[in-house]
Chain A
Amino acid sequence: MMTQHLAVPARRRTAPRGRRALRRNLIGWSFLAPAIALIGIFTITPFVQAILLSFQSWDGVSPDTPWVGLANYDFVASDPIFWASMRNVVFFGVVGFVAGNGVALGMALAVNSVTRGRTFFRTVFYLPGVLSVVVVGLLFSFILAPGSGILNRLLGMVGLGMLQQNWLGEPAVALPAVAAVFVWFHWGFGFLLFLAGLQDVPKELYEAAELDGANRWSKFRYITWPQLAPVTSIVSLLTLLAALQIFGTVQVLTNGGPGHHTMVPTLAIYNEAFVNWRYGSAAAMSVIFGGALVLLSVIQLAITRRRSRA
């Protein structure tokens, strides 16, 4: 909705000359100075340092960080845990994308078409989203516990005892279980944005379609869906990025286990550095994984931009 403001200000570019120009530039940049200082020191410097560190060896303590060339990348390339984590996170990405966005859109459509209780449902649906990853992790580590967990007990109560599982301990079940927790935690975010998008669709479009005798499906297909497209692409990207960067929830819930069946890259990077004291190879992992995420964002933004131009 506000995206158009972003494209470089459409004001005249006739730069004022001489001392007045200098003064203007000085004032402008001094307003930006705090932001530039902080971003320069705490974002751009570490970003460059992370890349440099991936070619160095560091134990986290000594001031000595010798260059080791590509050794860290060699090490990471043959690290089964890291690549297991990459595979797992693709699963999180797909589930978060499909299930998370599907539930979010479905519920936004549902809330948008009822008249009573909208505020109630909106409040409740986003409530999990204000919790922290730690709280969600702790909460579900109890709910999904094999013996005393409430989920297994509920399943037993309604006669679905055969579905009872050691949710977080069974290799085949743990990954989907953690992904389900992520969806529970995160779908409210997409829901809020979809709902706002739906409320921006001009009502006249539906009225005109009704006059033309359009049925429900074609109204959704030809009005709602295309009108929502900008929201859908933002929500998709943000949900996908959130799913791919999942860390705290997994650390608290399973710490990557059983085995490495729920290991995710951010946790693998953390462990490599702060548990194994191999900061160099951890940095190489973060360059590989971070680079993939940056690439994903850039591709998505490029597609969106081209589509909005077309």
Chain B
Amino acid sequence: MSRTTGRADEMSVASVPTSTAEGGTRPPRRGVRLDKVGLYGLLSVAALTALFPLLWLLSGSLQSLTELLSNERFLPADPQWHNYVTAWVQGELGIYLRNSVLYTGSAVIGILLVSSLAGYALARLDFAGKGVFTFVILAVMIIPAPAMFLAQYKLLISLNLTNNPVGYVLILITSGIPMSTLIMRSFFVSQPRALEEAAALDGAGPLRIFWNVILPLARPGMAAVAVIQGLGAWNEYLMALVLFEDNSLMPVQRGLTAFTSAETPQQQILLAATTISIVPVVIFYLMAQRHIVKGIGAGAIK
């Protein structure tokens, strides 16, 4: 217990002056308490800064236009719930959200399949040229999107896959593969081999072992990949902007910008539409938080 309080010191900037000023005549407890107050103060300011724009969004989406523009009060006097109905209908959010769910879902399934196959091969199978593939994956991860999106667009034109869900999902899958393969690989490396060896002794082939033995056990690794790639696919914007022309095919991020520029909706309606668009991702975040934190760590540190 005392150790944890003692470590409040690491926030040295905030805490050192108070404690030295207090030192000597007063008992140390007081300095520790002041440290804590300062720390919680700092954390609360940061939390408020992170939350305030979202709270304002929520509040603004429930105000009437005159109330919103006059900016008289922070909370809506009389919550205008019908803003949400208008936003949903005018903004065609049902279509966009359905598209986003579809694209994100297909991309995640595709990424999981491809990257667990490749990650398993890298972790467990023995064959020539493995190092070459690992190197290519690392090299591909370094190529940034701004260097590619133009040529990807040109390629999809020649494949007749622009303005087409299949083309978009294939791009989403491909961009998720390198990192996911590395995550799956390190997951498989950390797993015991006993079950696979037993299955091999029973005469099961590699694909059968993979499908019946490996994949069911790989759930924790796949969960990390799924949440992080799912978030990425849901929030993808650049390729959606470049590829889609028909509103009926757009995912929600692209749909939102289409809504702002084409219809010039009233501000409170746009705020309501924005709120609707973040509800799924915020709920998902609050539910799958542990996996997300783990996935981000795994993805970044590889």
- Which positions in A face B, CB cutoff 8 Å? 1-3, 5-6, 8-9, 11, 15-16, 21, 24-25, 27-29, 31-32, 34-36, 38-39, 41-47, 49-50, 53, 58, 103, 106-107, 109-115, 117, 120-128, 130-135, 138-140, 142-143, 148, 150, 153, 184, 188-189, 192-193, 196, 203, 206-207, 210, 215-217, 219-220, 224, 230-231, 234-235, 238, 241, 245, 247-248, 252, 265-266, 269-270, 273-274, 279, 282-283, 286-287, 289-291, 293-294, 297-298
The SS class assigned to the B binding surface is helix
Within 8 A of A (CB), among B213-270: 231, 234-235, 237-238, 241-242, 253-254, 256-257, 260, 267, 270
For B301, the closest partner residue in chain A by CB is: A1
Contact: A2 with B151, CB < 8 Å? no
Chain B residues, Cβ within 8 Å of A3 = 301-302
User: Interface residue count for B (Cβ, 8 Å)?
Assistant: 114
Do B174 and A138 touch across chains, with their CB atoms under 8 A apart?
A: no
Least CB distance, B228 to chain A, in whole angstroms: 11
Partner of A266 from B56, B113, B114, B146 at Cβ < 8 Å: B146
A249 and chain B: residue at smallest CB distance: B237
A135 touches B278 (CB 8 A): yes
- Known contacts A15-B128, A34-B117; can you find 15 more A-B pairs with CB under 8 A? A25-B128, A29-B127, A35-B181, A113-B10, A125-B46, A127-B54, A134-B256, A135-B277, A139-B53, A184-B50, A192-B293, A235-B300, A269-B146, A273-B150, A294-B142
Q: Are B150 and A282 in contact (CB under 8 A)?
A: yes
State whether A112 and B7 are in contact (beta carbons under 8 Å apart), knowing that A42-B155, A138-B270, A184-B50 are contacts in the complex. Answer: yes
CB distance from A203 to the nearest CB of B (A): 7
Total A-B Cβ pairs within 8 A: 311
B88: Cβ under 8 A from any A Cβ: no
Per-position 1/0 for B2-33, Cβ under 8 A of A: 01111111111111100000000000000000
Interface residues of B (CB under 8 A from A): 3-16, 36, 39-40, 42-43, 46-47, 49-51, 53-54, 56-57, 60, 68-71, 113-115, 117-118, 120-122, 125-131, 133-134, 136-138, 140, 142-155, 170-171, 173-175, 177-178, 181-182, 185-186, 189, 206, 210, 231, 234-235, 237-238, 241-242, 253-254, 256-257, 260, 267, 270-271, 274, 277-278, 281-282, 284-286, 289, 292-293, 296-298, 300-302
Minimum CB–CB distance for B190 against chain A, Å: 8
Q: Quote the shortest CB–CB distance from A151 to chain B (angstroms).
A: 10
Whether B154 lies near A49 (C-beta < 8 A) is yes
Q: CB within 8 A of A43: which of B12, B68, B127, B148?
A: B148
Q: Which of A35, A131, A274 contacts B235 (CB 8 A)?
A: A131
Contact: A2 with B155, CB < 8 Å?
A: no
Cα A54 to Cα B57 in complex, Å, equals: 43
State how many angstroms separate the Cβ of B160 from the closest Cβ of chain A: 13
A188 and B148 CA atoms in complex are apart in Å by: 27
- Option from A6, A138, A210 in Cβ contact (under 8 Å) with B6: A210
A sample of 30 inter-chain contacts (CB < 8 A) reads A2-B186, A3-B301, A28-B125, A31-B117, A34-B118, A35-B181, A36-B133, A39-B140, A43-B140, A49-B154, A50-B148, A50-B150, A110-B43, A114-B39, A114-B40, A124-B51, A126-B285, A128-B54, A130-B231, A132-B235, A135-B253, A138-B260, A142-B271, A210-B6, A219-B9, A224-B10, A245-B145, A245-B146, A266-B145, A269-B150
**Within the complex, what minimum Cβ distance (angstroms) separates A245 from chain B?**
6
Give the residue of B143, B152, B257 whose beta carbon is less than 8 angstroms from that of A290: B143
Q: Which 3 A-B pairs have the closest CB atoms?
A: A290-B147, A28-B127, A216-B9
A125, B150: Cβ atoms under 8 Å? no
Report the bound CA distance from A166 to B60 in whole Å: 20
CB <8 Å contact, A114 and B36: yes
Chain A, residue nearest B189 (CB): A5
Given contacts A35-B118, A216-B12, contact A5 B185 (CB under 8 A): yes
- Decide if A6 touches B142 in the complex (CB within 8 Å): no
Verify B174–A43 contact, CB threshold 8 A. Answer: yes
Is there an interface contact between A113 and B114, defined as CB atoms closer than 8 Å? no
CB pair A35–B115 under 8 Å, yes or no, is yes
B117 touches A32 (CB 8 A): yes
Task: Give the Cβ gap from B224 to chain A, nearest Cβ, in Å.
Answer: 12
Q: How many Å from the CB of B151 to the closest CB on chain A?
A: 4
